[in-house]
Structures are given as C-alpha cells and as structure tokens.
C-alpha cells in the first residue's frame, strides 16, 4: 500500500465487514507525524468482498503510551472506581479472564467498574447463547459466575488499561489513589498472569 511508505503502520489486519459480514475487511491504521501540525492517525477500511470503503482521521495531542493497573479489592472499588476508555484502549483482567480489545467496533465510554463488569457480563451471556459445545458453555457459565461475584466485591481482580495514545484512565475511589499503578508500558514479558 502506498500510504505505508510514509505513514507508520500501527495496525493492519483483516476483520469482519460491518456491511456484508464477510471476513474480508482490510483495516489499516497509519500514523502520520506532520511537522508543525502534530500527529494524525488515518483509519482505512476496505472490503474486498462488497467494496465498502471508509476512511477516518484522528488528530492526536502529544501523548504517550500509558498503562494503568488497579487491583479491585472490595465493593467500594467496584462501585466507585471510574474507567475512562478511548477507542484505542485495551481493557483486560488476566485473573478474571477477559480482554476488551481496541478495533473497528470499539466504543469510547466512561463508566464505573460496576458498569464495565455489566458490559462484560452482557458479552459473556451473548457468547453463551452462540456457543455450541457443552464444554465451552460450562466454561462461560463459570466465567459468568465469577463476574457476578466480582460485581458484589467478593472476588478481587486486577484491572489493566493499555492505551497507545494515553487517552484512557482509571480513577480509583477517593483516598485510594496511591494504589493505582501507572506506567509508560507494561510489556507482556513483565506482566505476570
């Protein structure tokens, strides 16, 4: 692709087309550093099956990759911790066992950890309906049970936000700010799962 010769490729892959549903949507995210103007990300979507095309631009402030890590320990952490999530952010919990990835269908949101867990629960319940094997169903049921416990503050877990543009944030309850870990980047090597 011509644009990759001067834009930096952040992501390139094939995803499901929102129009025809085929796994033939070519997605490219390219970063352009334009002097005296700033950074721009170009999102390009092109479906080789139905011909759908879409291009989007995002202007960036001078921000860097940020990772936030916070241990949810009780009900107060669940109801009072706020999560600010931009479209480029990955939210995951290695111990509870979920990951919400950035991508074409990613949505930006501001919610409490409680609200986030309800989203996770909703996704899991949809997966349960779609799942065809009994083994998979029982795994999903177990996961749902764990998320319900987490919602009641009965199952501590670690919440991690990773955003290459630093536009996302975890805000702990008042007085618990010092428990929040912030890093430039938690690499997968140092992340103990």
Q: Please tell me whether residue 32 binds Zn ion under the rule CB under 5 A.
A: no
> Residues 140-159 vs Zn ion: string with x where CB under 5 A?
--------------------
Binder among 11, 32, 43, 52 for Zn ion (CB under 5 A): 52
Residue 143, classed as helix, strand or coil, is: helix
With binding defined as CB under 5 A, does residue 11 bind Zn ion?
Answer: no
Task: Tell me how far the alpha carbon of residue 23 is from its chain's centroid.
Answer: 21
Stretch that binds Zn ion, among 13-21, 90-98, 112-120, 177-185 (CB under 5 A): 13-21
Question: Does 48 interact with Zn ion (rule: CB under 5 A)?
Answer: no
What is the distance of C-alpha 115 from the center of its chain?
15
- What is the smallest separation between the CB atom of 10 and Zn ion, expressed in angstroms? 22
- Residues touching Zn ion, count (CB under 5 A): 7
Q: Compute the least distance from the CB of residue 63 to Zn ion, in Å.
A: 33
Distances (CA, A) of 39 to 55, 93, 134: 16, 30, 48
Cβ(100)–Cβ(115) under 8 Å? no
Contacts of 163 (CB under 8 A, 6+ apart): 65, 66, 67, 86, 88, 89, 90
**Of 4, 23, 49, 182, which one interacts with Zn ion (CB under 5 A)?**
49
DSSP 79-142: HH-EEEE-TT-EEEETTTTEEE--STT---EEEEHHHHHHHHHHHHHHHHHH---HHHHHHHHH
Choose, by CB under 5 A, the member of 9, 14, 20, 108 that binds Zn ion: 20
In this chain, which of 17, 30, 89, 140 binds Zn ion, going by CB under 5 A? 17
User: Are the beta carbons of 29 and 7 closer than 8 angstroms?
Assistant: no
User: Among residues 49 and 99, whose Cβ is nearest to Zn ion?
Assistant: 49
Stretch that binds Zn ion, among 19-27, 36-44, 53-61, 174-182 (CB under 5 A): 19-27
Q: Please report whether residue 14 would count as binding Zn ion according to CB under 5 A.
A: no
Determine, following the binding rule CB under 5 A, whether residue 47 of this chain makes contact with Zn ion: yes
Q: Kind and range of the H or E element at 170?
A: strand 169-171
Tell me which residues touch Zn ion (CB under 5 A). 17, 19-20, 47, 49-50, 52
């Amino acid at each position: 692709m011509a644009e990759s010769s001067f834009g930096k490729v952040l992501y390139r892959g094939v995803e499901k087309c929102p129009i025809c549903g085929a796994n033939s949507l070519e997605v490219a995210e390219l970063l352009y550093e334009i002097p005296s103007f700033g950074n721009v990300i170009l999102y390009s979507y092109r479906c080789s099956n139905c011909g759908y095309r879409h291009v989007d631009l995002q202007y960036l402030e001078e921000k860097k990759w940020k990772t936030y890590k916070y241990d949810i320990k009780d009900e107060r952490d669940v109801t009072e911790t706020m999560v600010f999530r931009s479209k480029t952010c990955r939210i995951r919990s290695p111990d509870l066992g979920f990951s919400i990835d950035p991508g074409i269908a990613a949505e930006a949101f501001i919610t409490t950890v409680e609200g986030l867990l309800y989203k996770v629960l909703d996704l899991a319940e949809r997966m349960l309906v779609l799942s065809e094997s009994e083994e998979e169903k029982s795994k999903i049921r177990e996961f749902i049970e764990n998320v319900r416990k987490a919602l009641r503050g009965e199952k501590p877990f670690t919440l991690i936000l990773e955003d290459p543009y630093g536009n996302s944030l975890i805000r702990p309850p008042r007085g618990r700010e010092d428990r929040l870990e912030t890093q430039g980047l938690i690499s997968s090597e140092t992340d103990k799962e």
